[in-house]
Each structure stands twice: as C-alpha cells, then as structure tokens.
Amino acid sequence: MSDGKDDGGAAPGRRRRSWTLDEKRRIIDESLEDGASIAEVARRHDLNANQLFTWRRQCGLEPAEPKKLAPILPVTITPAAAAEESGLGSSGQIEIVLAEGERILVWSDVETAALTRVLKALSRR
C-alpha cells in the first residue's frame, strides 16, 4: 500500500533518504580520515558507497592518485659459475645497474629500509 509519497525508485518498503548539506559534509570528512574505508563509512550511515563517491566528486574531491610506481626493468640472473668467474663468488651479492649505467652492489645482509632510502634518493635525481 502506497503512502502517496514518491520514493524516487527506491526499493519497495524503503523510502529514499534526503541528506542535508551538513550531513553530507560530515560523512565526506569521515571518509577522508586516515585509514577510513569508504565502504565502512557508507555502511555506517546506511548509504551506498557509490553515492559517497558521487558526493566526494561533486565537492571537487578526487580519489588520491595511485602512488607512482617504479618502471619495470629487465632483470638478468647470472648463473653461479659466471659469478665465480667475475670474482663475486657466492657471497650473496646483488648488482643493480641503473638506467644511466651506474652500478650498486648490495650484499644479502643489507637492511631493506636502508636500500629503500638509497633507491628513493636515486629516483629523485
């Protein structure tokens, strides 16, 4: 039985909810907090995640651009015999040759964080 109100195409038995501008802003702000999940924020407010994305877009907020990824480069794995002939032996060394021809020699015990800092610094040049 209809109550005479237009449900705007909402599911039977469900009314379309209207949101004030302040409510929308509060929900959008909540979705922008560090670690916030848009799906969880939408669910908490009985809202479809797509609607939340639409509100964010309407406010001029674009989703954060994906992090710029390093380009994929060819890798050559040298057989152990070739490494021994070059004097590297089986010391667990890795040689990284950059696009400009510079070489970085890394041993197996290098700290990941330290190597990451070096590579990030080189990528900013």
Q: pLDDT at position 80, please?
A: 59
Are residues 84 and 53 both part of a single domain? no
How far is 45 from 81, CA to CA, in rounded Å? 63
Q: pLDDT at position 7, please?
A: 47
Q: pLDDT at position 19, please?
A: 87
Amino acid at 94: I
CB 93 within 8 A of CB 106: yes
Q: pLDDT at position 82, please?
A: 54
Are residues 85 and 115 both part of a single domain? yes
- How many helices (H) and strands (E) the chain has is answered by 5, 2
Q: Does 65 map to a domain?
A: no
Q: Does 42 map to a domain?
A: yes
* Domain span at 109: 80-123
85-114: burial string, b at 16+ Cβ within 10 Å, e else: eeebeeeeeeeeeeeeeeeeeeeeeeeeee
pTM score of the predicted model: 0.40
Q: pLDDT at position 45, please?
A: 93
Are residues 54 and 87 both part of a single domain? no
Q: How many domains does the chain have?
A: 2
pLDDT along the chain (125 residues), means of 10: 46 74 92 90 92 87 61 68 53 75 80 81 72
Q: Does 68 map to a domain?
A: no
Q: Does 40 map to a domain?
A: yes
